[in-house]
Amino acid sequence: MTNKFSDLINLVESKISHLPFEKRGVIVACSGGVDSTALFAVFCELLKAEKIFSLALFHFNYGLRGEESEGDEAFCRDLASGAGVPFLAARATKEQRETRQGEGVQEWARRLRREALGQWIQEGTLIALAHHADDSAETVLMRMMRGTSLGAMRGMAEWDGSWWRPWLRVPKAEIIAAAEERAMLFREDSTNEKLDYARNVVRHRVLPELLRLWPAGRQKLLDLADDAHAVASYALLKALEDTDFKLEKKEVATVSAHCSRERLSELPDPIALAVLAHMAQSTSAGCWKQLSRANLLKVLMAARAGGQPRFVLEMSKGLYLEATKDRVRSFPGPAQT
């Protein structure tokens, strides 16, 4: 076993070793590309060494590249078969491909994959994703340029409940080197080279040029994003306490959230907007992802104007925020009188 590949195994093992053994069942999300194929190979070694108790390979076929997509699925099926582990597969329907709810292709694909993978999560099961440091750096750059909050600038987290990205600080070059040392077979997605997507432009043109000028820039960018997330999280918790933030529940579901209008109005814009975004997230079932800073600012300005007359704004897909004399509140539609 080569040193580079051993290093990847040791890294993953060190990150999972703090978990009790009964929580070390792993499903690897595998596209057939070099990153996820290498991750699956690492977990195969950990299974042999009895560092995890179960392993399965999951593949989602989006059906966007015809025979190439079918080849990816067949390759992943063979990987699972060769390792003697279960192969879990899902595919997009024609209807899903034709109705993407206004999403970009990559956002649509991530949503479908996450929904399908979520059905396999059980107690003690981890979903391992092969995102690496280059993916994370690309996400940070794209979010900064598109506009985001300090807390959301980081994008991907290593741990997100049962979702785990063990290689989030590993550069892609190290993964490729380990795969090449083992003469590992993998699939190439032809669309990864096309510059039709913003991420591909960042991946092939922007990030390489930045790293040529500042070779340590990837690590510094990720450190900055982590620091921003930590500071924003701390500030948000303090602001929620200061504004008397509360959730109103009915049985197990959150039906609304509210805070003091006066105290919210006194906060600096970035922190007040973070409170409003958190309020929307706490109330909705996912439609908060389409919140805009412009609309959050409208609610904040109404709150600072005293909330008179009552101000109600539909944020996205039936999610409402209102400002009244005493409080600011979020709730799912239709608008309440």
Cβ contact 274:322 at 8 Å: no
12-56 confidence digits (pLDDT tens)? 999 999 999 998 999 999 999 999 999 999 999 999 999 999 999
DSSP 335: P
d(CA 299, CA 286): 20
Q: Lowest mean pLDDT: which of 101-115, 190-204, 232-246, 281-295? A: 281-295
The CATH topology of domain 3-130+165-193 is Rossmann fold (3.40.50)
Rg of the chain (C-alpha set):
22
Which residue is associated with the tokens 């993978």? 117
Measure Cα distances from 208 to 133, 137, 178, 213 in Å.
13, 11, 21, 9
Span 209-231, pLDDT tens digits: 999 999 999 999 999 999 999 99
Cα(197)–Cα(194) distance, integer angstroms:
7
Q: Which segment, 63-72, 142-151, 213-222, is predicted with the most confidence on average? A: 213-222
Residue 121 CA neighbour count, 13 Å, CB half: 14
Query: Structural domain boundaries of the chain?
Result: 3-130+165-193, 244-332
The predicted model scores a pTM of 0.86
Query: What CATH fold (topology level) applies to the domain 244-332?
Result: 3.30.465
